[in-house]
Amino acid sequence: MTLFDQIGIVVSSISSREFNLGMVTRLTCLILLVSMTGFGQRDEPIRVQTELVGFEVKATDKDGRPVSGLTADRFRVFENGVERKIDFFQPMSRLVGNRPLAVVFALDVSGSMTKAELERLRSSLSEFVRRLEGPEAYFSVITFAMNVKTVVPFTNRRQRLDERLGRLRHDREGLSTHAYDAIDAAVRSIVRNGPKTGPGRIPQRAVIVITDGFPVGDVVSSKTVIERANKAGVSVHSVILPSFSRAGQGRAPVITPFEASGLTEATGGISIVATEKNFDPILSRLAVAIDESYVIALYPTRDSGAGSGFQTVRIESTDGYEIKQNRSGYLIRE
């Protein structure tokens, strides 16, 4: 039935005195709808870009502790070097609201992780999940050595996660450590299977990679992983194990290739060196870093740049706090 047919039916009802305020309202809406559609002309639709570009932001003090309670006026945003206003701001602690969360643990099960480390890690991961669990909190586990495997698909049931973690085993025959491939697989899994972005719904996305820091045999480069993580709004955090990553007891720590890649910094994550046998303090720190964050969002604009192309965005604190953001900008296409 066309719009004109519907108008005819409503007019007939009014003419026969079978009308009320609802009919008049309906007639008015139909007439407005016809006027908006150009009386049935087949013009090209007008598309308006209203999608916000979101940035996950963390503020830390000089001791590296997350800073909560900040307001929008405590941040400054620069796009291509030009300061601009913040279009959307919200503190995103899960204590404030039921914010969707997607976390993938990428675990190095090559010979670089000792059996004792693996046992301690199982217990600490369970406690980490308990701290952040909720109806909208989803967790997944990927292991990597020579191959990348999904051990636990996304679930919001801690019991299921605990059961699968109990089955973790070393890849004794693995001759390589595909850390970057594993992170890439984790990012793609979050995009495909994690909670989706929607009106008033901005999921937090994170990958926690636990490794000795010496990737070997990867197909995907660290640069590609950074690009894909930035595009998906995923922060990558790392825990560097001491098994082979340090020069020896009493010596200065060695910067591993994974740390040197800058992957965690470029995605707004943090990197922690596991100098203790207990993983609980490390994962507790990561849980706080994931939980205490802010979302700053902008409407795409060409006013501050040269039109299409990559728009560089830098976020600063007016109080001098260190700021980590999960992407360095966004891309505008013609």
> Which pLDDT score, from 0 to 100, does residue 73 have?
95
Helices (H) and strands (E) in the chain, counts: 9, 14
Residues 198 and 326 in one domain: no
Residues 228 and 328 in one domain: no
Residues 281 and 299 in one domain: no
pLDDT, tens digit (0-9, with 9 covering 90-100), for 181-203:
999 999 999 999 998 877 667 78
Burial (CB < 10 A; 0-12, 13-18, 19+), residue 86, is middle
- CATH number of the domain to which 275 belongs: 3.40.50.410
Residues 83 and 224 in one domain: no
Question: For residue 261, is it within any domain?
Answer: yes
| CA separation for the pair 83, 74 (Å, rounded) | 14
Question: For residue 44, is it within any domain?
Answer: no
| Interval 86-110 mean pLDDT | 81
Residues 254 and 139 in one domain: yes
Question: For residue 187, is it within any domain?
Answer: yes
pTM here is 0.74
Asked whether the predicted pLDDT for residue 228 surpasses 80, the reply is: yes
pLDDT, tens digit (0-9, with 9 covering 90-100), for 125-170:
888 998 888 888 999 999 999 899 999 999 999 888 888 887 777 6
The residue type at 173: E
Residues 189 and 236 in one domain: yes
* 68 three-state secondary structure: coil
Residues 156 and 182 in one domain: yes
Domain range for 121:
103-291
- Note whether 263 and 236 are within 8 A (CB): yes
Residues 267 and 145 in one domain: yes
* Per-residue pLDDT band at 3 (split at 50, 70, 90): very low
Residues 220 and 114 in one domain: yes
| CA separation for the pair 45, 42 (Å, rounded) | 9
Structure tokens that stand for 28 in this block? 């008015």
Average pLDDT, the chain: 79
Residue 40 gets the label, from left (phi > 0), alpha (psi -120 to 50) or beta, of left
